[in-house]
Amino acid sequence: MTIEPIFEMKDVGAAYGPFRALFGVSLKIQPGASLALLGANGAGKTTVARVASGLVAASSGSVIVDGIDMTGSRTYEFARAGIAHAPEGRSVFATFTVEENLTLSFRRALGRGGVRAGLEEAYTLFPRLGERRTQEAGTLSGGEQRMLSLARVLVEKPRLLIADELSLGLAPIIVDEVYETLASIRGSGTALLIVEQHVQHALELCDDVALLDHGTIAWRGPSSEAADVVVNHLFETGAQS
């Protein structure tokens, strides 16, 4: 029996005004699977992530979720379909405490009655947040703010999590903790699209790899076969690995 992909791009192009960023990108992710999207800076990785969550509209091709063509749909429609996007950077309310940040998100997503359970789950996913629940988010370390922004989307149990450059600027020990959490939520059935320059963590977590180069897919295959291809490509393009 053929399993329908949870998410698929077919020959997708995208542009920012006159600047074309993607050229005929095709990829698919099965339910509960994980795909690492790797490539040098400027290859188009973040644009793929934005198209996948509706933040940027595809200028050509199709974006399909659960067999339904959602090309041109708005961001909230992708969210309703179970697509969550954790963008590069830290999206927190700096003057609110950790718990206030989480409560605001959970009231909207889970309803007032779901806030307590949501908080408990967030603190289980990221114990550091529980230890700092009364601390203002703006005073957290960069890694802790990243955990906070992740917790706000993970507790909603998305069907597909798009994570853009999670390790950027974080200490190695924090990167390890974040990836341990991703492995845990993947084990619970959430599919992953990981946009990353930290090659080793991505290869260890993901089933498959797509290598992006100048807005096109240069290589696609299982992570077990990807290490030499990806490292050689990133070395040639001068990217960090």
Quick check: is 73 in a domain?
Answer: yes
97 DSSP assignment? B
Q: What is the pLDDT of residues 34-66, one digit of tens each?
A: 999 998 888 999 999 999 999 999 999 999 999
The CATH number of whichever domain residue 187 belongs to comes to: 3.40.50.300
Quick check: is 143 in a domain?
Answer: no
Q: What is the pLDDT of residues 173-210, one digit of tens each?
A: 888 888 888 998 888 899 999 998 778 888 899 999 99
What is the predicted pLDDT for the residue at 177?
Answer: 87
**For residue 162, which of 196, 205, 192 has the smallest C-alpha distance?**
192
Q: What is the pLDDT of residues 123-163, one digit of tens each?
A: 999 999 999 999 999 999 888 898 898 898 888 889 999 99
Quick check: is 119 in a domain?
Answer: no
pTM: 0.86
Quick check: is 145 in a domain?
Answer: no
Quick check: is 46 in a domain?
Answer: yes
Q: How many whole angstroms separate alpha carbon 41 and alpha carbon 206?
A: 20
Inform me whether the pLDDT recorded for 234 exceeds 70.
no
**For residue 101, which of 56, 134, 65 has the smallest C-alpha distance?**
134
The tally of domains found in the chain comes to 1
Quick check: is 121 in a domain?
Answer: no
With 0-12 CB in 10 A as exposed, 13-18 as middle and 19+ as buried, what is 173?
Answer: exposed
Domain enclosing residue 172, as ranges: 7-92+158-237
The mean pLDDT value of the chain amounts to: 89
Quick check: is 128 in a domain?
Answer: no
